[in-house]
Structure 1
Amino acid sequence: MTQHTGGCRCGAIRFEASAEPFYASYCHCGDCRRASGAPVAAFVGFQAADVRFDGDTGSVYGKAPVKRSFCGTCGAPIAYLDERLSDQIFFMLGAMDAPENYPPRMHGYVGEELPFFHLDDGLPRMEANTVARPQGDRS
């Protein structure tokens, strides 16, 4: 069984997933840019039941339904959580120990993409979110 591991910069947060990820994507939305400090964010998603934290699980900020976690010690961003998708967790690709193993498979929120930062990689490009939310919910 493959173990997928990651954590923060200082080691206070460590996590592992015991099953394969179901998702890997870039997000170009302004909220992800601000949360990550980068022109684009990248995430890898796992079923929450397959994830185990060792030590601290991190601090959380945001407003419902979206929350983001980070290390309260070193400040490193860890994950994106959505109450509407409570059975899923989306780790920042940079929080993974081997981020090269999780190549994104699509781009989300390309309407918010910065005009000077375009990845011409042939991946599908979505105008909005890349993970289905409950019917009628577009955020």
Structure 2
Amino acid sequence: MTVSHTGGCRCGSVRFEASVEPHHISYCHCADCRRATGAPVSAFVGFRADAVSFSGEEPQVFGNGPASRSFCGNCGSPIAYVDERLKNQIWFMLGAMDEPANYRPTQHAYVREQLRYVHMPDGLPRYVKSSVERPEMQ
């Protein structure tokens, strides 16, 4: 049986599907994510990139160092985050998933950058920096 996790942009031009279970679901409080999404906190669902396929229009990509963020060129919806240091991984915005309620975050990343007025007393583990180890962060 093939597992299917689907999503896309607001206008429906960009669609994606992952055929494996997510390996990571996390909140991120970093300033870069805030600026990229316009939200005080972001949430991501991580999958193996080789198990993801896109359909419809190709998303546009904005690169910044080892990281790139994709978005719909028509409606501007943020779609995904890729970090070249994290081989074979893609991180979709939780809000881009068709059934976002099915992806409950299990941790918080970059809490040192969390806005003072954002209170999320959920008891989840909190990481001062990233919740995912990157090679040069070891």
Query: Could you tell me the TM-score, scaled by structure 1's length?
Result: 0.95
Q: Percent identity?
A: 61
Paired residue type of 2:137: D
**1:107-118 equivalent positions in 2, closer than 5 A:** 107-118=108-119
Paired residue type of 1:73: N
Q: Deviations over 1:30-67 (max 9, x none)?
A: 00011111110000000001100012230011312011
Count of residue correspondences:
137
Structure 1: which 4+ aligned runs deviate by more than 3 Å?
none
Pairwise CA distance, 1:137: 2.6
Query: Could you tell me the TM-score, scaled by structure 2's length?
Result: 0.96
Is 1:91 the counterpart of 2:100? The answer is no
Q: Separation in 2 of the partners of 1:67 and 1:123?
A: 27
Give structure 2 stretches of 5+ with no counterpart.
none
Pairwise CA distance, 1:2: 2.2
Q: Separation in 1 of the partners of 2:134 and 2:58?
A: 25
Q: Is the 8 A contact 1:2 1:20 kept in 2?
A: yes
RMSD of aligned alpha carbons:
1.0
Give structure 1 stretches of 5+ with no counterpart.
none
Q: Give the match for residue 48 of structure 2.
A: 47
Q: Give the match for residue 34 of structure 1.
A: 35
